[in-house]
Every structure is written in C-alpha cells, then in structure tokens.
C-alpha cells in the first residue's frame, strides 16, 4: 500500500512515465470494453436466451452505477489517495470478467443470464468508483498545456484499436457460427477471459503511474452536490437533459437487437454499421466544436436533435424495405445518427460548463451526471418492458416487421417532448438556427469543391496506420512528444 502513496511533487521524468503508462491503460481498457460491451454483450446475452427486459438491464448497468461516484468522492475525502482507490476499484471491476468466462460451464442458459447480470452489476459498481477518482487524478497529473493534445492522441489510438478489434472479432464470431456452431459459446467465454486478463494488465500500469498529492476535501458532500439543484436555469437544463437522455436510451440499446433478431443481419454487418456511426461522430466533432464557439449550444441541439429523432422514426418503417435498399439505408441512418449524436453530446457538455459558475464547475457537472444517470439507467429497462408489452398485446403487424416499430415511435415522441423543454433553458449568445444551417451548407459545399485534400487525408491515414500497426503500438513517449510537436519543458509540474 505504501507504494501507492501520492508524491508531494512530481519530476518531469515521473510525469512523462505517467503519460506513457496512461496510454497503456487506455489501450487495455478499450480492449476490455470492446470485447465485453455494446453489440458483443448483446450477442452473448441473446445466445444465452436473454429477454428484452434483461437486455435493458444490461444496457442500464453502466449508467445507473454512475451514482456511486459519490462513494468515490467520499473515499477521496476520507483517504486522499486517488491512485489506491482507482487501482483497488479497477482490480475489483476487472476480476469478475474472468469469472463470467466460466459461467456457461457452471450454469444452465437461463441461470447464466441471471448470473451475468449479477456479476456485471458488481463490475460496473467498482468501475464507477474507480472512474470518479481516476478523473480527479488525471486532472492533476497531466499538464494543462498538453491536456487537449494528449487526450485527443490517446482517444485516436483507442478508436483505431476499437474499429480494428471489432471487425476482427465480428468476422471471427460469424465464421465460428457458420462452420463450428457448437463452439460459439466457447468463443464468447474466451472473449471475457481475454478482456479480464488485458484489464488486469491495465491495472498493473495504473499501479505504476505516479500521483501528485491533492488538497483534501472538507465540505459536506450532500450539501456540495445539492447546490446546483437550487439554481433555476441549471435546473431547467437538468430537466431537458434528463428527458432527452431518457428518449435516447429508451430505443438505442435495441437497435442491435432489432438488426440481429428481426432483420437477421450477421454480427459483422451490425458491427460495421456501428463503426460507420462512430467514424461519422469522429469526423463531425471538429465541425460541431467550431459551431459551438461561433453559435450557441442550444442552436446545435435544435439542429441535431430533429435529425436524430427523424432517424429513430425511420427505424419504425425500415422493416418494409426490400433487401436491395435495406443495408444502404441503414448506412445512411448510422452516418446521420453518429454525426447528430456527436453534436448533441458536445453541446450538452458545453452548455453545462457555460451555465455553471467557474469556481464550482466540477460540482455542477458531477451533479448533472448523477441526475441524468438515473434517467439513462431506467430508460433501457422501460424500453425492454415496452418491447415485451407491444409484442404480447398488439396483434397488428405494423409495417410488416412486428411491434418494434411501436417502441421506436414512442422514443421519437419522447424526443419531441424534450425539445419543447429546451425552449425554457436560457443561454447567453443564442442565435437563430437558420444561420447555423447556412454555415453548414457553406462548409459542405466547400469540402466538395476542395477534392484536392483527399490525397492529404490518405497520407495522414497511412501515417496513423504506420504508427499504430508497423510499430506494434509503440508507446515511447519521447517519440510521441517529437511527433506531436510538444515541448518537453511544458511537461514540468
């Protein structure tokens, strides 16, 4: 435990070592998340015979357990040792993944789903506690001068790994399902065991990462985090944010279920569509960032939210489409959903910062996260119950593909309601959305005309690929500093 004690002051070499180790943990965490969350988790649960309600519970766990970040704040207040809290929490969160890999060998199919939910609840709870202290630790460890550049580089490496690993695993699972169906559950078990082992490697990297000592917290936690609820305009933002996140999570976790169970798409197709959405989000986020500076965040939401709601409504009628147009339409929908969701997420984050007092920004944002976590967690549960209700109580085969379309239309209706609540939120510098639409049209036309940028983009992608794959994910931070053009002197604490 003594080795996990924080240091009064970090040297430049210690900071560079810490940045190197955080990159390693980021890649380990991304590997773990890719193998055991999202579409792959849905596929595993469906194979075990999970119901729609159980799928909703699995989708709700990561967000619902965010309320336990309060426990993390209390532990930091009590012990003032963020590295020890993060390492112990991460260790308790990643060992259960190894246990899940043995479930099919110990339980029947129905019992395995219940055991899966129980163990993942334990895993998400401790991951939430570790995440709360990790955020505070990283804020003090990483120099402010390179904070944005460092995390953007770390995120790019993680996204490249996510895309590559997702496609590889999806093709492997589909191949096993087609040629060796009896071994499909063995493949799922191996995925959890590999993710758990990789996660433990990330814990080892965290344990070696230095921590600067922080100032102890003395304020009453309940009083500290209830203060934002007394500010009228911020409270209105919480109401809108909660309603929107409920609409979003009411239907989003079931897109993959719908594509695999009802449309009958192979897993590799579903993963590919999710990657398309992710790439659309990545490429559009820079544009939304510029628009956030020039226009208001409310304007971005008023542009992006109707686009996302329109895509949700399109899910209601996609079942009647012919096979020839089904997949191209799904690609277009995922591009639009990825780009619009990126704008909404960025705008909600920025407007929260904008409405919070400068000296209490972290408290306001954590309070917002805890409040919205409740709605984010209950939405998938409500979605699963509604899906089962519509299936058992409605005999009208609307649009030819069962009753999923009723769930999607319900989600779209709640989204429209949330936009009504957005009008009550006040933001300084709000501008007419027509100006932003004109700006987006101008930017799009300019991109189309400047086709000579395509070779430059191709060279940039080749450079990234060479860095990641030819060097085997080289994480030498001295080379990274030279590549990014960071000044070593700026790393000093």
| pLDDT exceeds 50 at position 264 | yes
| pLDDT exceeds 60 at position 470 | no
Q: Tens digit of pLDDT for each residue in 64-96? A: 887 787 788 788 878 888 899 999 999 999 998
DSSP state of 485: T
So what's the pLDDT on residue 479? 46
Q: Can you tell me the distance from the alpha carbon of 205 to that of 350, in angstroms, rounded to the nearest whole number?
A: 32
Shared fold status for 11-218 and 231-449:
yes
CA distances from 250 to 57, 214, 265, 287, 303 (A): 12, 39, 22, 28, 21
Return the CATH fold of 11-218.
Growth Hormone; Chain: A; (1.20.1250)
Considering only the C-alpha atoms of the chain, give the largest distance between any 2 of them, rounded to a whole number of Å.
Answer: 69
Q: Which residues pair with 7 in a beta bridge?
A: 212
Q: Tens digit of pLDDT for each residue in 328-370? A: 999 999 999 988 988 888 788 778 767 766 555 556 767 787 8
Domain boundaries, the chain: 11-218, 231-449
Q: How many helices (H) and strands (E) does the chain have?
A: 20, 0
Q: For the whole model, what pTM was predicted?
A: 0.65
What mean pLDDT do residues 21-41 have?
Answer: 88
Say if CB 391 and CB 403 are below 8 A apart. yes
Of residues 411 and 112, the one with the higher pLDDT is: 411
% of the chain exceeding 70 in pLDDT = 77
Q: Tens digit of pLDDT for each residue in 404-443? A: 788 898 999 999 999 989 888 887 766 655 665 666 666 6
Q: Which residues pair with 212 in a beta bridge?
A: 7
% of the chain exceeding 90 in pLDDT = 18
CATH of 231-449, one of 1.20.1250.20, 1.20.1600.10, 3.40.50.1010, 3.40.718.10: 1.20.1250.20
Identify which of 437, 374, 386, 447 has the alpha carbon closest to the alpha carbon of residue 411: 386
Q: Can you tell me the distance from the alpha carbon of 202 to that of 434, in angstroms, rounded to the nearest whole number?
A: 47
| pLDDT exceeds 50 at position 484 | no
Say if CB 36 and CB 152 are below 8 A apart. no
Range with lowest mean pLDDT among 113-117, 192-196, 306-310: 113-117
Element (H, E) at 17: helix 12-36
Computed on alpha carbons and rounded to an integer, the radius of gyration of the chain in Å comes to: 23
Q: Can you tell me the distance from the alpha carbon of 483 to that of 157, in angstroms, rounded to the nearest whole number?
A: 14
Say if CB 373 and CB 66 are below 8 A apart. yes
Q: Encoding tokens for residue 344?
A: 């909404």
For the chain, give the mean pLDDT.
Answer: 78
Say if CB 491 and CB 12 are below 8 A apart. yes
């Amino acid at each position: 435990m003594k080795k996990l004690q924080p240091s009064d002051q970090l040297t430049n070499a210690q900071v560079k070592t810490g940045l190197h180790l955080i990159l390693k943990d980021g890649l380990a965490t991304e590997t773990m998340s890719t193998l055991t969350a999202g579409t792959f988790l849905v596929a595993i649960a469906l194979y075990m015979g999970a119901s729609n309600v159980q799928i909703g519970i699995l989708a709700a766990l990561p967000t619902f357990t965010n309320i336990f970040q309060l426990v993390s704040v209390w532990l930091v207040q009590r012990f003032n040792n963020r590295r020890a809290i993060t390492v112990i929490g991460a260790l308790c969160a990643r060992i259960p993944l190894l246990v899940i890999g043995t479930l099919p060998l110990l339980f029947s199919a129905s019992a395995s789903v219940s055991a899966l939910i129980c163990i993942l609840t334990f895993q998400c709870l401790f991951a939430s506690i570790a995440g709360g202290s990790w955020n505070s630790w990283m804020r003090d460890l990483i120099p402010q001068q390179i904070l944005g550049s460092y995390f953007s580089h770390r995120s790019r490496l993680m996204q490249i790994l996510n895309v590559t690993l997702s496609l590889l695993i999806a093709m492997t699972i589909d191949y096993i399902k087609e040629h060796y169906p009896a071994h499909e559950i063995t493949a799922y078990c191996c995925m959890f065991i590999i993710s758990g082992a990789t996660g433990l490697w990330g814990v080892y990297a965290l344990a070696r990462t230095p921590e600067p000592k922080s100032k102890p917290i003395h304020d009453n936690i309940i009083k500290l985090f209830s203060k934002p609820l007394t500010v009228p305009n911020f409270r209105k933002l919480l109401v809108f944010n909660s309603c929107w996140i409920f609409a979003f999570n009411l239907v989003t976790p079931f897109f993959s279920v719908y594509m695999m169970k009802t449309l009958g798409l192979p897993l590799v197709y579903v993963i590919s569509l999710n990657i398309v959405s992710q790439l659309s989000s990545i490429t559009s986020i820079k544009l939304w960032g510029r628009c956030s500076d020039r226009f208001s965040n409310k304007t971005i939401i008023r542009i992006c939210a109707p686009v996302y709601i329109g895509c949700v409504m399109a899910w209601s009628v996609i079942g009647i489409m012919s096979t020839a147009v089904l997949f191209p339409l799904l690609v277009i929908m995922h591009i639009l959903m990825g780009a619009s969701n990126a704008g909404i997420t960025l705008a909600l984050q920025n407007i929260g910062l904008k409405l919070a007092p400068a000296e209490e920004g972290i408290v306001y944002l954590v309070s917002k996260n805890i409040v919205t976590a409740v709605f984010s967690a209950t939405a998938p549960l409500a979605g699963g119950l509604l899906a089962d209700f519509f299936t058992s109580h409605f005999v009208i085969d609307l649009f030819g593909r069962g009753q999923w379309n009723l769930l999607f239309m319900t989600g779209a209706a709640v989204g429209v309601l949330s936009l009504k609540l957005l009008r009550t939120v006040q933001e300084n510098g709000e501008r007419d959305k027509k100006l932003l639409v004109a700006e987006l049209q101008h930017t799009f036309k300019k991109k189309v005309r400047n086709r000579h940028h395509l070779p430059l983009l191709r060279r940039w992608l080749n450079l990234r690929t060479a860095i990641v794959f030819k060097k085997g994910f080289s994480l030498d931070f001295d080379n990274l500093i030279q590549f990014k053009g960071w000044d070593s002197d700026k790393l000093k604490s």
